[in-house]
Structure 1
Amino acid sequence: MKYAIIGFGKIGQALAKAFVRNGIEVSVATTRDPGSFASDAAAIGREVVPVTLTKAVEADVVFLAVRFEAHPDVARALPTWRGKVIVDVTNAYGVPPEEMGGQPSSRTVARAFAGGRLVKGFNHLGAGVLGQDPATTGGRRVVFLAGDDEDAAAQIGELAEALGFAPIKLGGLSEGGLLVQARGNSWGRLIFQDLVKFEA
């Protein structure tokens, strides 16, 4: 299984740290030449491999860690996303709901990535918290996941476990997705909720 993170700002780097902590290789890309952020990648760990956007989209699982407004540019990198899982880490804060037809922001993203299986997740925590070791205070930091494709959501749940997080599935995009999205000038009810799951 090949993983890629598209977007290498604070959130993208926080995600990369999770992969490095667990010795899992991950490609990272932006719209820029990979040499321009190679030193930042190397500072996180040797498992982080800077590549071109064209190379990154060859991965089986792609984390979309760009500004919401930039997601159509990434989607155009492939004519079809069939067979790939896209993890939507974007937040559409400041984007008027009417621009999305009143739908959850993740549905807008899903339409752009034609053929792909989209899971909303890893977006409810700020970069400073997401980048920390999720093993904390005797438990594991929670990440929320929502998606209409149960197999894809289960796959990302397994990956979240492998990265040390405690995944909690919220259901489909129209229900659970609303809890972990931003749009207009409002945040979903679970955004910024830093929760820890303790084992029984």
Structure 2
Amino acid sequence: MRIGTIGAGTIAQALARHAIRHGHEVVLSNSRGPASLSSLVADLGPLATAGTPAQAAAADLVVLAVGWPRIPDAVAGLPPLDGTVVIDATNQFASPPPEPRIADLGDLTGSEYVASLLPGARVVKAFNALYAQYIAPDPRHEAGRQVLFLAGDDAGAKDTVKRLTSQFGFAPVDLGPLREGGRLIQLGGPLSALHVLKQD
């Protein structure tokens, strides 16, 4: 699979390393341009390349992992995403820690808002509820696999994400649609930052 990242920070890099370890190609992008990613790409190895957001969005699966206020600019001008699976790993921090403020979206969940900016994309909410230190290492432990909560409105897209993340070693748990399931794992939800293991 060819995986593109919109954003190249901690979460995107962690997922890129998992993907590359399992033989997937990765195209990383950020707002500063491909040249700014040259050292990262060299560290990741031959399966990694740097590209523009448009090039990353042309991949088989796309990971959106940018700061909340930057999402509109990050996705503006992307090519049509008709049918593309997009993992939304964002959290609606209107302002970052140490004094975080949660964006007020009214009745919308964060991923419903993201999906509204990506017409045609099949959005799956995942990885936002885990701290980075639980994503980057091998998710398989003696006591079990790291549980990965996910939500989405498209069953096929969720199956794709389940297969991929299971290959990485996570234990995906489907919480249902973006509205109900997404609300459980977004900031302030009962499953946000809940780090649990599943015994096999």
In the alignment, which residue of structure 1 is the partner of 2:98?
none
Flag structure 2 segments of 5+ consecutive residues without an equivalent. Answer: 94-100
2:142 matches 1:137? yes
Give 1:74 deviation, angstroms: 2.7
In the alignment, which residue of structure 1 is the partner of 2:182?
177
In the alignment, which residue of structure 1 is the partner of 2:78?
78
Q: For this pair of structures, how many residues does the alignment match?
A: 193
Q: Secondary structure at the match of 1:28?
A: strand
Matches within 5 A, 1:36-47: 36-47=36-47
Correspondence for 1:115 among 105, 120, 132: 120
What is the TM-score normalised by the length of structure 2?
0.90
Cα gap change, 1:148/1:92 in structure 2, threshold over 3 Å: closer, same or farther? same
- Alpha-carbon distance between aligned partners in 2 of 1:137 and 1:87, rounded to the nearest angstrom: 28
Give 1:108 deviation, angstroms: 0.4
Give 1:196 deviation, angstroms: 1.3
2:131 matches 1:126? yes
Flag structure 1 segments of 5+ consecutive residues without an equivalent. Answer: none
Give 1:126 deviation, angstroms: 1.4
Q: Secondary structure at the match of 1:19?
A: helix
What is the TM-score normalised by the length of structure 1?
0.90
Matches within 5 A, 1:16-165: 16-93=16-93, 94-97=101-104, 100-165=105-170
- Identical positions, percent: 39
In the alignment, which residue of structure 2 is the partner of 1:189?
190
- Alpha-carbon distance between aligned partners in 2 of 1:164 and 1:63, rounded to the nearest angstrom: 18
Cα gap change, 1:137/1:77 in structure 2, threshold over 3 Å: closer, same or farther? farther
Alpha-carbon contact 1:170-1:176 (below 8 Å) kept: yes
RMSD: 1.5
Give 1:86 deviation, angstroms: 0.9
- Alpha-carbon distance between aligned partners in 2 of 1:77 and 1:162, rounded to the nearest angstrom: 32
2:168 matches 1:166? no
- Displaced runs of 4 or more, over 6 A: none
Q: Secondary structure at the match of 2:5?
A: strand
